[in-house]
Amino acid sequence: MPGLERIDVLWITAGLGCDGDSIAMTGATSPSIEDVLDGVVPGLPAVALYHPTFASETGDDFLARFHAAANGQEGPPFLLVMEGSIPDERNKSEGYWAGFGTDRSTGQPILTCDWIDRLAPRAWAVVAAGTCAAYGGIHAMEGNPTGCMGLADYLGDGFRSAGGLPIVNMPGCPIHPDSFMETLSYLLRQAAGNAPMIPLDDKLRPRWLFAQTVHEGCDRGGYYEQGDFSAEHGTPSCIVKLGCWGPVVVCNVPKRGWIGGLGGCPNVGGVCIGCTMPGFPDKFMSFAEEPPGAKMSTAAVATYGTMVRSLRRFTRGSMDHEPEWRGKQPTAGAAEDEGDGIH
């Protein structure tokens, strides 16, 4: 099939969420959304973005593109981005949890779930932006009344888009700006026929972005290895005992920095709370205590690390000096100076 020359990005923020992923996305620089829309990124088709926050149209004018896509009317192929978790609208006798726009004939809200039912099968690809859309996130905590869930749970394991893709999950609370734009760009390049099928892991995440743990990219990893664990904030030491889940969480934020290479949770003193993970937040609470599983490993590392640290301190002490023979040689100038009285 020939590659697409143009594709529209239809972005719905009307799941249960805070729109934080949309805001985070605007911080991307590699590439930025402006670069993608301006057509300056090589290998991508022409792209138009339909997003409720960034649109110049309002009301029915804005919704027209969504209605046309949902009705299968002629128009460019589209990529659907879903933000926010998907409620269960069947778990109550009246009312609704989430809607997007108003039905012109009835005046009633159009349910977010109805939009998904109609748009997802027609979309060239479907992206779940943020942990809420990917796995349910904070709104799907145990005991919540909405019964909400991630998009893959809503659409089912066997879902394939019109382009033949499974859902692409880009978790994070919020998404990492550049990682999201990199994923979107990959899909757009694939749509243009310039990239092979996007490689995803078994949780439908882009494989190359979620192969490493936070710990493996953390600035404080050297402190962990030497058993230097901090009991308070404000030190450069490892903060696992303050609640960091980095050793078991897959996320490239510490390696990549948040925006423009700067920041990255534990790098700047914030414990990793596992916000990219399907089990977030329930399985990572409380956020302020040493993770139960870390107790054994940190006890083992503390024993080994304390010894290694003192040995290294000794070695560093000797390496931190010039060799003895240097400085014992008179300098050329000093030799010439000898006897001439000039010093």
Which residues of the chain form contacts with ligand SF4 (CB under 6 A)? 172, 214-215, 218, 220-221, 224, 238-240, 244, 246-247, 249, 251, 253-254, 265-266, 272-276
Q: How far is the CB of 53 from ligand SF4 (least distance, A)?
A: 22
Rounded distance, CA 86 to CA 14, Å? Answer: 9
Cα–Cα dist 180/187, whole Å? 11
Q: Name, in order, each residue with C-beta under 8 angstroms of 247's C-beta and a sequence gap of 6 or more.
A: 213, 214, 215, 224, 240, 294, 297
Helix (H, G, I), strand (E, B) or coil at 121: helix
| CB of 209 or CB of 244, closer to ligand SF4 | 244
Query: Min. distance of Cβ 299 from ligand SF4 in angstroms?
Result: 14
Find the helix or strand (DSSP H, E) in which 222 lies.
helix 221-225
Which 8-state DSSP code applies to residue 218? -
- Please check whether residue 127 is in contact with residue 81, taking contact to mean a CB–CB distance below 8 angstroms: yes
Q: Shortest Cβ distance from residue 277 to ligand SF4 (Å)?
A: 7
Q: What minimum distance in Å lies between the beta carbon of 138 and ligand SF4? A: 12
CB of 267 to ligand SF4, least distance (A): 8
Q: What residue number has its CB nearest to ligand SF4?
A: 246
Alpha helices in 76-202 (DSSP H): 112-119, 131-135, 151-155, 177-191
161 neighbors 127 (Cβ within 8 angstroms) = no
Instruction: Closer to ligand SF4 by CB, 123 or 138: give it.
Output: 138
The residue (of 86 and 240) whose beta carbon lies closer to ligand SF4 is: 240
Are the C-beta atoms of residues 227 and 195 closer than 8 Å to each other? Answer: no
Indicate the pairing of strand 168-170 with strand 125-129: parallel
DSSP letter at 247 equals G
Give the nearer residue to ligand SF4 in terms of CB position, either 100 or 229: 229
Radius of gyration of the chain (CA): 27
> How far apart are the C-alpha atoms of 325 and 340, rounded to whole Å?
26
CA–CA distance, 114 with 136 (Å, rounded to integer)? 18
CB of 338 to ligand SF4, least distance (A): 56
Nearer to ligand SF4, 10 or 238 (CB): 238
Q: Please, which residue, 20 or 247, has the CB nearer to ligand SF4?
A: 247
Q: How far is the CB of 59 from ligand SF4 (least distance, A)?
A: 35
Residue 255 contacts residue 249 (beta carbons within 8 Å) = no
HEC secondary structure over 5-66? CEEEEEEECCCECCCHHHHHHCCCCCCCHHHHHHCCCCCCCEEEEECCCCCCCCHHHHHHHH
Report the residue number, 131 or 190, with the smaller CB distance to ligand SF4. 131
> Shortest approach of ligand SF4 to residue 44 CB, angstroms?
27
Class of residue 113 by CB neighbours under 10 A (exposed 0-12, middle 13-18, buried 19+): buried
The distance of closest approach from Cβ of residue 151 to ligand SF4 in the complex, given in angstroms and rounded to an integer, is 19
Q: How far is it, in rounded angstroms, from Cα 102 to Cα 62?
A: 12
Complex with ligand SF4: residue 101 or 227, whichever CB lies closer: 227
- Closer Cβ to ligand SF4, 14 or 250, answer by number: 250
